[in-house]
């Protein structure tokens, strides 16, 4: 095994021996899955594993240090059965995944990507609270390029895939009806689209000219033909802005594997971290799991390194960096380990 991998394995093992993870509720009924660090770069997933106690879990993790740990959103009678149909599905948490890779604006910068993801999380949480009346939810930074929202509410546990897709369509504003028989539909979606349009018309005279309608002429209670035309022209843009960009298959899948809170993301070395205050949360600081002892690396690419307290340009060659930054670069495949400083 090469030195870099040995170093990483040692560090991950240290992390898991020093930190006690809080296993999810009803963990005995859940399936766990691991990608062993040892076999990287091959991504081998060991699945259908279940645990009777926290000690069993910890022993397992320390014996096969994993690069990634997942657990099932679903509860099963027999989570360790190898065939999905033999597991005996009981129910599943409602899960939302917001990942920068699924946002319309693409960016290379992790920092920027996380900022965009955060905006979507705030939109999501607001709608889940006001429209769905959900108070009890947990938000996690995924350790990668996004966030997960877990809902354990019993009301939603038993929903099947088609039923969850109704929720997805609602959140992603998937082809809503806005106008019917010349009247505004009585729906949250229609109201949101029209309110947004109204606001934009007030702010932006050019838009008003383009849509050929003055803000004054645009009344929700009495839609004129002119207004209907303007809505048809503008709705696509409004829907794009108002849509919440969740990754649809994740929510619709009732047997999804998701990253375990508290575990490390093998492609960044960051911790899957619970977010208490989304405004205050800084993923690239708050999810750092390692210390600042200095390490020597060989970097193979020029990048802007922004993590922890560092915000600097890094160039190819030998460099001394604090452990947390070193692990971040190694995990991302940008550097190899050369030794202790």
Partner 1 sequence: MKYLPLLPLLTRYPFLRLSSRVFTFDVAKGLEASPDAIEVAKEIVSHAIDGKIYRDRYVEEADFFCVGCDGRCYDCSEKGSFVNCDLCMKCFENCSYDYPEDIYREWYRKAELSLLSHISSRMIVSALDDWVRMRYAVNESSYYAELMRNDVGLKKPEIKKQDGDVVLRLIALDIGVKLKGWDVHVSTYVKASSRIRDERWRLVNRKLKDGFVETAKAEVIRIIEEMLRAKLFEKVPVIPSIQPAVKELSRKAAREAKRFSFDLGEVDLKCLPPCMKEILSELQRGMNVPHTARFALTSFLLNIGMDVEGIITLFKSAPDFDEEKTRYQVEHIAGERGKGSEYTSPSCDTMRTYQNCVWDCGVSHPLIYYKKCKSKRK
Binding residues vs partner 1 (CB under 8 A):
83-85, 130-134, 155-156, 159-160, 162-170, 172-177, 185-190, 248-249, 252
Left (φ > 0), alpha (ψ -120 to 50) or beta: where does 47 sit? beta
Q: Distance (Å, rounded) from C-alpha 187 to C-alpha 215?
A: 22
**69 or 179: CB nearest partner 1:** 179
Q: Cα dist. 308→74, 166, 273 in Å?
A: 34, 40, 15
Q: Closest Cα to residue 198, out of 182, 185, 211, 179? A: 211
Q: Distance (Å, rounded) from C-alpha 330 to C-alpha 281?
A: 24
CA-derived radius of gyration, the chain: 24
Nearest distance from residue 82's CB to partner 1, in Å? 9
User: Is position 181 annotated as part of the catalytic site?
Assistant: no
User: Is position 86 annotated as part of the catalytic site?
Assistant: no
**151 or 284: CB nearest partner 1:** 151
Nearest distance from residue 262's CB to partner 1, in Å? 29
The one catalytic residue among 20, 97, 221, 279: 97
Nearest distance from residue 173's CB to partner 1, in Å? 7
Q: Indicate the SS3 state at residue 135.
A: coil
Nearest distance from residue 273's CB to partner 1, in Å? 28
**167 or 201: CB nearest partner 1:** 167
Find the angle CA(91)-CA(72)-CA(139) to the nearest 5 degrees.
Answer: 95
Tell me if 89 sits within 8 A of 157, measured CB to CB: no
User: Is position 101 annotated as part of the catalytic site?
Assistant: no
**130 or 224: CB nearest partner 1:** 130
Tell me if 275 sits within 8 A of 88, measured CB to CB: no
Nearest distance from residue 151's CB to partner 1, in Å? 11
Tell me if 341 sits within 8 A of 277, measured CB to CB: no
**101 or 309: CB nearest partner 1:** 101
Give the burial class of 101: count Cβ atoms within 10 A of its Cβ; 0-12 exposed, 13-18 middle, 19 or more buried.
exposed
Residues with catalytic function: 97, 99, 247
């Amino acid at each position: 095994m090469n030195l870099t991998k040995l170093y990483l394995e040692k560090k991950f093992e240290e992390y898991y021996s020093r930190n006690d993870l809080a296993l999810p509720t009803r963990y005995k009924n859940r399936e766990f899955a691991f990608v062993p660090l040892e076999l990287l770069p091959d991504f081998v997933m060991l699945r259908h594993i279940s645990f009777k106690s926290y000690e069993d879990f910890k022993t397992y993790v320390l014996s096969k240090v994993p690069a990634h740990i997942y657990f099932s959103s679903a509860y099963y009678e027999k989570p360790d059965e190898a065939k999905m149909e033999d597991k005996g599905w009981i129910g599943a948490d409602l899960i939302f995944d917001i990942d920068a890779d699924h946002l319309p604006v693409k960016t290379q910068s992790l920092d920027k990507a996380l900022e965009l993801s955060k905006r979507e999380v705030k939109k999501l949480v607001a709608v889940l609270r006001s429209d769905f009346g959900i108070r009890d939810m947990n938000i996690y930074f995924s350790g990668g390029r996004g966030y997960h929202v877990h809902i354990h509410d019993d009301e939603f546990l038993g929903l099947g895939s088609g039923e969850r897709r109704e929720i997805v369509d609602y959140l992603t504003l998937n082809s809503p009806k806005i106008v019917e028989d010349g009247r505004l539909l009585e729906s949250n979606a229609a109201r949101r689209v029209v309110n947004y349009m109204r606001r934009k018309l007030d702010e932006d005279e050019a838009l008003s000219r383009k849509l050929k309608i003055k803000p004054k002429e645009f009344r929700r209670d009495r839609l004129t033909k002119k207004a209907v035309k303007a809505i048809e022209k503008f709705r696509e843009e409004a829907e794009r802005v108002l849509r919440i960009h969740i990754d649809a298959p994740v929510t619709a899948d009732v047997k999804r594997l998701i990253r375990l809170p508290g575990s490390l993301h093998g492609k960044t070395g960051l911790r899957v971290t619970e977010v208490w205050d989304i405004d205050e949360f800084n993923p690239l600081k708050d999810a750092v799991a390692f210390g600042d002892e200095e390490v020597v690396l060989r970097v193979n690419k020029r990048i802007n390194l922004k993590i922890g307290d560092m915000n600097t340009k890094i160039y190819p060659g030998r460099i001394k960096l604090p452990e947390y930054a070193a692990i971040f670069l190694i995990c991302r495949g940008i550097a190899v380990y050369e030794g202790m400083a």
